[in-house]
Amino acid sequence: MDETFAIASSLWKRLLGVRVVYFLTICAVSLIAITNMYDILMIGESRALMVDTGMMLTTIAAMLTVISLAFDIPKELQSGIASVLLAKPLGRTHYLMGKLIGVSWVGIFITSLISIGFVVIYSMSHGAPPAGLVKALFLIVISVIPMASIVLFFSSFLNEAVAATISTVFIWVGYSLASLNGVTLFDLSLFSMGAEAFYNYEIPPSYLLKGVVSALLTAISIVCVTSFIFNKRDLQ
C-alpha cells in the first residue's frame, strides 16, 4: 500500500502545484457571490440563482478535476514513465489505485473548497443554509470517486484526447440515467440533488449512505475491470 499512496501523493502534489487550480476555484466562488447582484433582475429570486449556480459550478469543478487523469496516465504510458515505475516493485493494480486515490483526493479537496465558499456566501446573504443544500453539496463531493473511476478506465487504454472526450460523454450520460429497479451502480444521477437543494427538500441520511456505498462500489468494480485490461496490456 505504501507504493499506492506514493503514486497518489505524487499526483496530489503535481495537480495542486498548478496555480491556475486556485485561480479557477476563486473564480467559481466569485461567480457564486456575484449572483446576489441579480436580485432585481430575478425579481427577488437571487437565492434560486445562487443555488443553481453553486451546484452547477461545483459539479463542473469535480468533472474538470477528474478529467485531468485522462491526460496524466496516457502521457506516462507514452513517455515510458509508467514502464519505469512498473519495473520497480509496483503492481499495475497498485499503480491504478494510486492514480484513482490521488485524483479523488484532489477532486474532493477542490469541490470542498468551493462548497465551503458557497455555504459561507449563502449564509451571509440568505441566512443559515438548509440541511438539504449542505447534503446535496456533500453528494457532489463524493461523486468525484465514481467519476474518477470512469476516467481511469478509459485512460488506461486510450490516448489523451479520446479518453477525455469519451469520459466526458460517459459522465454526462451517467448523470442522465435513472436508477433501474433500485440498482444505482454507475448511476451518477444519484448524486444530482439540485432540485432538493433548490426547494429545501429534506434528504434522509439513508440516501447519503446509499450515495457513499454506490460511489465506493462503482469505483471498486471499475478498478477491477480496468486492472484486468491493464494487466493484459503490453507496455513498451
Weakly modelled stretches of the chain, pLDDT under 70 = 1, 39-44, 82-90, 177-185, 198, 234-236
CA distance 188 to 181: 15
Q: What is the pLDDT of residue 184?
A: 53
* H helix runs in 127-204, sequence order: 131-142, 144-155, 160-176, 194-198
CA distance 12 to 99: 9
Q: What is the pLDDT of residue 85?
A: 65
CA distance 216 to 88: 28
Q: What is the pLDDT of residue 162?
A: 94
Residue 183's φ and ψ, nearest 5 degrees, are -85, 120
* 235 in Cβ contact with 82 (< 8 Å): yes
Does this model's pTM top 0.95? My answer is: no
* 85 in Cβ contact with 11 (< 8 Å): no
Q: What is the pLDDT of residue 177?
A: 67
Q: What is the pLDDT of residue 23?
A: 94
Q: Which three cell numbers stand for residue 50?
A: 445562487
The structural domain count of the chain equals 1
* 103 in Cβ contact with 68 (< 8 Å): yes
Q: What is the pLDDT of residue 195?
A: 72
pLDDT tens digit string along 176-233?
765 454 555 577 888 888 777 767 778 899 999 989 998 999 999 999 999 888 887 7
Up-side HSE of residue 61: CA atoms within 13 Å toward CB? 31
Cα angle at 229 between 225 and 231, to 5 degrees?
115
CA distance 228 to 81: 21
Q: Which structural domain, as residue segments, surrounds residue 200?
A: 2-232
